Amino acid sequence: MKYLLFSIFAFLLLLNAPIQSQSVLTNDHREKARQLIELAMESDLAWNRLTYMADTYGPRFPGTENLERSIDWI
């Protein structure tokens, strides 16, 4: 009986954990996020650079030549 009560109590505590661990965005965070999104939408430079890197160097697995060349390009 004690084991059952302990299990139920532990389960209820675990259900509550994700709710408490979520952070709340403040208005300052929302404003900064909005500014970043606006800047990203104004220009396609970042997208063009990403496309070039992906097309030129392909997959960049750890320890590969493509990874080293893409790091040098950056």
Q: How many residues does the chain have?
A: 74
**Boundaries of domain holding 69:** 39-73
Residue 19 lies in a domain: no
Pick left, alpha or beta for residue 61 (phi over 0 → left; psi -120 to 50 → alpha; otherwise beta): beta
Residue 57 lies in a domain: yes
The DSSP-derived string for 4-70 is HHHHHHHHHHHHHHHHHHPPPPPHHHHHHHHHHHHHHHH--HHHHHHHHHHHHH----TTSHHHHHH
Residue 1 lies in a domain: no
DSSP code, position 71: H
Query: Residue 19 has what pLDDT?
Result: 56
pLDDT digits (tens, 9 = 90+) for 24-46: 667 788 899 999 889 888 888 88
Residue 46 lies in a domain: yes
pTM (two decimals): 0.45
Query: Residue 6 has what pLDDT?
Result: 73
Residue 11 lies in a domain: no
Residue 29 lies in a domain: no
Q: What's the total number of domains in the chain? A: 1
Residue 28 lies in a domain: no
Residue 18 lies in a domain: no
Give the integer Cα–Cα distance in Å for 70 and 13.
46
